[in-house]
Every structure is written in structure tokens, then in C-alpha cells.
């Protein structure tokens, strides 16, 4: 995938970026519930796992908006990846430790799901944090905490405030009346993402959940 360097002098976000990098360096976290009532019912009908479906949904939204794909490359250049793939955690059931693996993204869910199943089967017993040595630079992190239905979640990243990509954490779903709600926490860097962009993310994630029949494969 292409990394497109940003022309800072012609970037309309330049004053915001400089302020939140040079003067008030900060990231922020938002946790919101996503209604997965229809999504969960359809996944159960199809025999499809929720975690990879949600990873695909998050990645779909990330790839729609350059704000979520803005970062520094290995040469220290600021730019935007043309497309990103998800890096996600899986649990070793024996040791109760996790590994971070990745799956190349495809807009076609069937293709992505098959790759996910292959990768998780390959590394399900891994005892390393990063068992796959071929992870490309255009990935972003997703993790799951399916044991806790949290209402808030915050990460503290000590990289001098230079890590610009979003980080997503999925919790345990719960029933609230007739709605099945899944908590999703997202951490953004204010230099590249404002509250508006966070709102767009959660809004489009909800739309994908409600319109799951349009992108999930059917038997």
C-alpha cells in the first residue's frame, strides 16, 4: 500500500496539528455502545464469529477516512496510508497470554473472514507477543476484552505523544431491554482527529451494524 507524505504548507489541518503536537500534546479516549442486536442475530444465523466481523467493520470505517490513517512512517515523514489492515489480539487458552497478529484487509468480508480463520488457527497456541514476523507497517491495533462490559476505557501511551493512529478496544456485550449493546473504546490523537471525527467513526460503525445484510455473505 502507498504511503502519501503530507505537504504541510498546503494542509488545512496544519495549525491544529502543530498546536496538538508542539504546544498541547494530547490524545483522548471515547467509549460508546454500539447496538449489535441485528448484527448478532445475523451472525448466529450464518455461524460467523463476532470478533472478526467487528474487526472488519472497524477497518472499513478506518479506511474511509484519512484522519484515521495519518501517522509517521519509518523515515519520520508525516503522511497517510492509502489503506490499512488490522492488527488484533488473540488469547492463548492454555497460558492466558495474548498474541498480536494481523490479517490483510479486503472489502469483501468472505475473503477477509477466511484469512482471519487461517491466521488464528496458525497462531492460536503461540506464546510470543508478536508471533508473525511479516507484519507490514500499514496496520493499526484492535484488541478485545470480552470478559468486561466496561463503560470507560483509557490507554496511556508513552511514546512522546508521537503515536498518531487510533487504537480500538472491544468489550463484553450486554442486554439492555431488547437491545444488545457492545462497548467500544477508541483512542485518538488530537493532532489528527477531533471530536467530529470520533463522532463520524461511531456513527458509521453503527450504520454497518444495522445494515449488516449489505456486506455479510449469506449461505
Which residues does the annotation mark as catalytic? Answer: 190
For residue 178, the 8-state DSSP code is T
**Strand-pair category, 85-91 with 139-144:** parallel
| Distance from C-alpha of 80 to C-alpha of 84, rounded to nearest angstrom | 10
Q: What 3-state class would DSSP assign to 93?
A: coil
Q: How many CB atoms lie within 10 A of CB 23?
A: 8
Cα dihedral sign for 161, 188, 83, 119?
Answer: positive
Q: Which residues contact 94 (CB under 8 A, 6 or more apart)?
A: 125
Q: What 3-state class would DSSP assign to 183?
A: strand
Cell digits for 186?
A: 477508541
Q: Which residues contact 134 (CB under 8 A, 6 or more apart)?
A: none
Cell digits for 170?
A: 472491544
CA dihedral 136, 1, 85, 27 (to 10 degrees): 90
Amino acid at each position: 500500500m502507498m504511503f502519501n507524505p503530507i505537504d504541510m504548507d498546503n494542509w488545512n489541518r496544519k495549525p491544529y496539528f502543530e498546536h496538538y503536537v508542539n504546544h498541547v500534546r494530547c490524545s483522548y479516549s471515547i467509549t460508546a455502545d454500539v447496538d449489535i442486536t441485528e448484527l448478532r442475530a445475523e451472525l448466529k444465523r450464518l455461524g460467523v464469529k463476532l470478533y472478526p466481523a467487528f474487526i472488519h467493520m472497524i477497518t472499513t470505517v478506518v479506511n474511509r477516512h484519512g484522519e484515521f490513517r495519518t501517522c509517521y512512517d519509518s523515515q519520520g515523514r508525516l503522511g497517510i496510508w492509502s489503506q490499512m489492515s488490522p492488527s488484533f489480539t488473540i488469547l492463548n487458552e492454555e497460558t492466558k497470554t495474548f498474541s498480536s497478529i494481523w490479517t490483510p484487509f479486503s472489502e469483501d468480508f468472505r475473503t477477509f473472514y477466511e484469512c482471519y480463520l487461517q491466521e488464528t488457527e496458525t497462531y492460536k497456541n503461540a506464546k510470543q507477543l508478536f508471533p508473525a514476523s511479516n507484519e507490514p507497517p500499514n496496520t493499526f491495533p484492535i484488541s478485545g476484552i470480552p470478559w468486561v462490559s466496561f463503560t470507560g476505557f483509557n490507554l496511556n501511551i508513552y511514546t512522546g505523544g508521537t503515536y498518531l493512529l487510533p487504537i480500538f478496544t472491544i468489550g463484553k456485550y450486554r442486554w439492555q431491554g431488547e437491545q444488545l449493546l457492545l462497548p467500544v473504546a477508541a483512542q485518538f490523537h488530537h493532532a489528527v482527529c477531533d471530536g467530529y471525527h470520533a463522532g463520524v467513526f461511531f456513527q458509521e460503525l453503527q450504520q454497518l451494524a444495522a445494515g449488516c445484510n449489505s456486506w455479510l455473505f449469506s449461505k
